[in-house]
């Protein structure tokens, strides 16, 4: 039997705006499916079982989880299970601006947790308290009003509501008492640190200490959660920042290399070519902006 993949064109407005809200009061049997978009699921009442990949988890009121696009999921058993789905297209939203990447809970809930759960039998999901759930559902109502009315400026305001939701959930995750969530949060802390200090020389011992893990454990957990070593992650981060600087004409390639934390501009060029496919010089020519 082939897997149903829900398509953007069927679930988002014809104007292409990349956020949608779907309430299920209650959820009807739906079957195993994946999406070509991401989904935040908020359990508003009732109980059930959630199946994602090969894992199954009991669901209760207040549970929140994120389904990254390609992962198949379903609700094999439901008892008055009511939920809200917030559907979104991450790459159209440029979410990671301002200091969102500095929130460990953001990495934990939106990036690490979906990947981590796929690889481990961790139960790191977020369960909100009744007060937190009420606050979240207030934000969801505002988002839904913007999306239904679609008045002038709704894109801006709906995006703002959505950002509030993401930020609020990231903060809630940071207070989660569950030990598996704490473990994930610690990796999230190390990632936030890397994002904030990517220019500085890497110190794996320091990162492991931040995550309250031995170096060996830290390396293993990081790789399990991110699919890559901390060093590879940092390299990607530096090269991405360098690419942004190269798009502007003010700095020489050597200056860019130093600014993002390389000590040697030849080494920088090699790494850049490895990850981006062209040398920094070629990249600058292709992307030169006029300001």
Contact residues for Ni ion, defined by CB under 5 A: 39
Mutual orientation of helices 265-276 and 280-287 as an angle, nearest 10°?
60
Query: Between 249 and 268, how does the x/- string for binding to ligand RM4 read (CB under 6 A)?
Result: --------------------
Q: How far apart are CA 150 and CA 142, in angstroms?
A: 12
Nearer of residues 67 and 166 to ligand RM4, judged by Cβ: 67
Q: How far apart are CA 129 and CA 168, in angstroms?
A: 13
Nearer of residues 30 and 267 to ligand RM4, judged by Cβ: 30
Helix, strand or coil, per DSSP, at residue 152: coil
Q: How far is the CB of 22 from ligand RM4 (least distance, A)?
A: 5
Nearer of residues 4 and 228 to Ni ion, judged by Cβ: 4
- Helix spans in the chain (H): 8-11, 104-106, 113-119, 130-149, 154-174, 179-196, 204-210, 215-226, 230-246, 253-259, 265-276, 280-287
Q: How far apart are CA 40 and CA 125, in angstroms?
A: 12
Tokens of 232: 């590879």
**Which of the ranges 22-30, 94-102, 180-188, 245-253 carries the binding residues for ligand RM4, by CB under 6 A?**
22-30
Measured between its terminal Cα atoms, the distance across the chain in Å is 54
Task: Name beta bridge partners: 87.
Answer: 20, 39
Decide if residue 71 touches ligand RM4 (CB under 6 A).
no
Q: Using CB under 6 A, which residues numbered 84 to 123 contact ligand RM4?
A: 85
Decide if residue 22 touches ligand RM4 (CB under 6 A).
yes
Binding residue for ligand RM4 (CB under 6 A) from 35, 125, 127, 238? 35
Binding residue for ligand RM4 (CB under 6 A) from 8, 23, 24, 273? 24
Nearer of residues 118 and 273 to ligand RM4, judged by Cβ: 118
**Which of the ranges 19-27, 142-150, 169-177, 221-229 carries the binding residues for ligand RM4, by CB under 6 A?**
19-27
CA atoms within 13 A on the CB side of 15: 10
Q: Residue 30 binds what, of Ni ion, ligand RM4, none (CB under 5 to 8 Å, by partner type)?
A: ligand RM4
Q: How far is the CB of 33 from Ni ion (least distance, A)?
A: 6
Decide if residue 63 touches ligand RM4 (CB under 6 A).
no
CB of 190 closer than 8 Å to CB of 107: no
Q: How far is the CB of 10 from Ni ion (least distance, A)?
A: 12
Decide if residue 6 touches ligand RM4 (CB under 6 A).
yes
């Amino acid at each position: 039997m082939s897997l149903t993949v829900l398509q953007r064109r069927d679930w988002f407005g014809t104007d292409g705006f990349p956020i949608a809200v779907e309430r299920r009061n209650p959820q009807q049997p739906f079957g195993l499916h994946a999406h070509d978009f991401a989904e935040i699921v908020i359990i508003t009442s009732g109980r059930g079982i959630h199946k994602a990949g090969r894992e199954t988890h009991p669901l209760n009121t207040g549970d929140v989880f994120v389904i990254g696009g390609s992962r198949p999921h379903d609700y094999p058993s439901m008892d008055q299970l009511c939920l809200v789905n917030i559907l979104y297209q991450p790459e159209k939203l440029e979410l990671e601006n301002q200091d969102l990447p500095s929130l460990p809970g953001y990495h934990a809930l939106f990036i690490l947790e979906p990947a981590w759960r796929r690889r481990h039998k961790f139960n790191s999901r977020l369960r909100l308290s009744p007060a937190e759930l009420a606050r979240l559902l207030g934000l969801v109502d505002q988002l839904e009003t913007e999306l239904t009315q679609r008045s002038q400026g709704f894109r801006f305001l709906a995006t703002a509501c959505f950002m509030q939701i993401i930020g609020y959930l990231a903060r809630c995750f940071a207070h989660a008492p569950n030990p598996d969530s704490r473990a994930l949060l610690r990796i999230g802390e190390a990632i936030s640190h890397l994002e904030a200090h990517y220019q500085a020389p890497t110190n794996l011992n320091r990162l492991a200490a931040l995550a309250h893990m031995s170096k060996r454990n830290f390396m293993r957990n990081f790789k399990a959660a991110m699919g890559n070593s901390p060093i590879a992650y940092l390299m990607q981060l530096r090269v991405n920042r360098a690419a942004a600087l190269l798009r502007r004409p003010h700095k020489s390639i050597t200056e860019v290399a130093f600014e993002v934390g390389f000590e040697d501009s030849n080494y920088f060029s090699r790494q850049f070519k490895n990850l981006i496919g062209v040398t920094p010089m070629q990249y600058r020519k292709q992307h030169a902006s006029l300001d």
